[in-house]
Structure 1
């Protein structure tokens, strides 16, 4: 990890000196640190919260969820981003990637294909085109992520062709990907996955988005087609804000014509208490009876309802303190407390996040 950081930092510093001399180009540096403490009332002995969580998932210990350093270059016709990360998010969310790639938060390049229109082709390791939540908790309305966000891609590897209308109200993208949140493709799978995204912002208060994914999730020649759709709307008016989202997925059963389905609705409401204080409440439900995304080894599969309440204090423009209480209730005993099965999980999480 140290060697990787030194190499990347040296390369970026060298490039920034040369690129900064290019006409109409900029090179900017930024960083982010999210320190947290979470207490799970089920008190897991291994300090690990439920396995379907990848952010803020260590119990009863102070830790770093995500820390990164990012360099971003842009000019009239080209752009590039490289961000190196560490933290428990990287440890658990990138566990299936090769060690050298587990600390890459973002690494991509882009070229503008038209002088008159905003048409860009970007390639590399990109932020996911799915969902309204990212791994950067400071940018999200709640401290922790929804179940649907934790179990859909945070990142993707491939190429994206995007177009933004002159009035900035419409953005459309088509993507060719290595798979469902994968940098390296599955063994024996030669199929390119596809993604689409359409975003409409009719005014400064409303955002509407529809994203899709299609790919083969089978390995070693097994055919398991996956279809996935993500819809959400974000509305902000003065002190009040609302988010409504809905995910639906369908995946082919191995070597059959049948399909298993899963879905998840989520709703978040946020209220500005004062100039530096906000409240946010969330309701969510996630159903995956056949264990396509989340396996439980129970007859009922994964059927979980979640509620959370979030309080934020904006210390400065770039720093926020947050605390959140969240409870999960399942249809079956998929959680454990002192080695005993139970159907509830309550946790309190606090965080200090600084962006610079």
Structure 2
């Protein structure tokens, strides 16, 4: 079934590629709406990772979902995308493969694991930039995506790896006429879920307020209200995502992020609360990037993730997941559409949570080197 879907999509690309290459004759009336456009694009990222502290392990630590395989050349993410853009209608379909899809979509039905995007939208106002979209779309929560080429660091931050990369549902988006403000509200199937979690019947809600002045400054606040547990536990989740991207010149920029979430403590079998209050986790991150030339960048990252109750990252250790992370990477654009990157990354945890095997000795630290080649077209 998956092979049939992918084959059909590739056939669509081959059969319609000649139509895309042809230019559309512009309307004679200058006031007429622009002609709809159907465009095709693609992305692929190959990588190799070497874990120095777990040299014989086949996978990187369990809280990572990108660049997951150890000591082997593999595909992190590759997709083909078709996008339709009209005056009042739009749509996207992107079919993916790679270890990102293998690990990050593990909870989805097998066919759905190949969907990177599948959505359609309608413009609700003739004079306002107000859109209603429904389907599967990339998440508005966070400043990083699964497309490494678009991010400042080769690997994803802990906050990105452990919050939604994709969402499914319906969203209402409004952009102000001056292009500085974006307001979004959505009704979702759950916390990064295309299929609704068994036993969870209520909708989840999410919002976004973003202020942007070109590429110089971006301020963002996104939220999630819902649950990732069955209804019987009555564990409401409230998550806040804050970040600022300060990039006054093309030479130097800084990203500051802070996320905090809370899950209400669950009900026991007797209908009583396990305790008062909520389980809380939080994570700050700072990334700085400097252009060493017109084709190259260096970037450094410092981050911390505190999930002592194991809501998102369960360790089974005394102090839970309390881990510092740091990385430094170098990027070189071989061509405008091809980027080679190399990154050294380390983790330091309060408890010894990094074990090469289930029965082997555990460490408090983990260090790895990753390199990748990403191309887009």
TM bin (shorter chain)? over 0.9
1:1-356 paired onto structure 2 within 5 Å: 1-10=2-11, 24-219=35-230, 221-238=232-249, 239-255=251-267, 256=273, 257-337=276-356, 339-356=360-377
Q: 1:242 offset after TM fit, Å?
A: 0.4
Alpha-carbon separation, structure 1, partners of 2:37 and 2:6: 22
Alpha-carbon separation, structure 2, partners of 1:166 and 1:345: 48
Alpha-carbon separation, structure 1, partners of 2:187 and 2:14: 31
The answer to whether the Cα contact below 8 Å between 2:159 and 2:305 also exists between their aligned partners in 1 is: yes
The alignment partner of 1:221 has SS state of helix
The answer to whether the Cα contact below 8 Å between 1:240 and 1:269 also exists between their aligned partners in 2 is: yes
Deviations 1:98-132 (A, max 9, x none): 00100100000000000000000000001101000
Alpha-carbon separation, structure 2, partners of 1:12 and 1:197: 34
Task: Identify the range of structure 1 (89-98 vs 42-51) with the bigger mean alpha-carbon deviation.
Answer: 42-51
Alpha-carbon separation, structure 1, partners of 2:157 and 2:371: 16
- In structure 2, stretches of 5+ residues that fail to align are 25-32, 268-272
Alpha-carbon separation, structure 1, partners of 2:328 and 2:356: 23
Task: Identify the range of structure 1 (131-140 vs 221-230) with the bigger mean alpha-carbon deviation.
Answer: 221-230
Deviations 1:231-250 (A, max 9, x none): 00001122111000000000
Alpha-carbon separation, structure 1, partners of 2:222 and 2:4: 37
Alpha-carbon separation, structure 2, partners of 1:337 and 1:158: 39
Give the root-mean-square deviation of aligned CA atoms: 1.9
Q: 1:181 offset after TM fit, Å?
A: 0.2
Alpha-carbon separation, structure 2, partners of 1:12 and 1:48: 34
Alpha-carbon separation, structure 2, partners of 1:354 and 1:82: 19
The answer to whether the Cα contact below 8 Å between 1:328 and 1:344 also exists between their aligned partners in 2 is: yes
Task: Identify the range of structure 1 (247-256 vs 322-331) with the bigger mean alpha-carbon deviation.
Answer: 247-256
The answer to whether the Cα contact below 8 Å between 2:13 and 2:40 also exists between their aligned partners in 1 is: no
The answer to whether the Cα contact below 8 Å between 1:187 and 1:220 also exists between their aligned partners in 2 is: no
Alpha-carbon separation, structure 1, partners of 2:233 and 2:343: 42
Relative distance call for 1:220 and 1:192 in structure 2 (3 A) is closer
Deviations 1:174-222 (A, max 9, x none): 0100000000111121100000001101354000000000002221532
Alpha-carbon separation, structure 1, partners of 2:375 and 2:18: 27
Task: Identify the range of structure 1 (99-108 vs 257-266) with the bigger mean alpha-carbon deviation.
Answer: 257-266
Deviations 1:241-285 (A, max 9, x none): 100000000001111253100000000000001111110000000
The answer to whether the Cα contact below 8 Å between 2:57 and 2:356 also exists between their aligned partners in 1 is: no
The alignment partner of 2:202 has SS state of coil
Alpha-carbon separation, structure 1, partners of 2:176 and 2:147: 27
The alignment partner of 1:6 has SS state of helix
The answer to whether the Cα contact below 8 Å between 1:107 and 1:125 also exists between their aligned partners in 2 is: yes
- In structure 1, stretches of 5+ residues that fail to align are none
* TM-score, normalization by structure 2: 0.91
Alpha-carbon separation, structure 2, partners of 1:36 and 1:214: 35
